Amino acid sequence: MLKEASRLPRRTMAREKMIRFLFRFLGFWILAGGFIALVVDGTRSIAASELVVTPARTAWTSLSPSSLEATRAAISNMAPWAWADLVGPLLDLPLFVLLAALGLVLMAIGNVRRRSRYQVS
């Protein structure tokens, strides 16, 4: 009887499943984007006969320079130190590393925790 009383309502469980699915779905696609960025850098490296790595800042600038500047201004207004000390170094990482890390974090957040059959409760 204690297990029944401590269970979440069905509506809450459905929301939790949906949010976990959303995190896993987004994480999967962002991880796939990181893999694509790795393949593009690998192809460029083979063509150039040297290691070519695309920083995230360069990729963002080539896609939408105005949104990069707007984001920099917004972050600098909220916390002036954040852009130079936190976001700037992250944007200097290779794009595939940043996307892969973000994708894996989102997938880990959305991971369904399964109870071990050996756990005593």
Q: How far apart are CA 88 and CA 55, in angstroms?
A: 11
| Residues 4-24 pLDDT 10s | 445 656 777 788 889 999 999
Q: How far apart are CA 38 and CA 16, in angstroms?
A: 33
| Residues 73-113 pLDDT 10s | 999 999 989 988 999 999 999 999 999 999 999 999 988 77
Q: Is the pTM of this model over 0.75?
A: yes
C-beta separation of 68 from 60 below 8 A = yes
Q: How far apart are CA 100 and CA 107, in angstroms?
A: 10
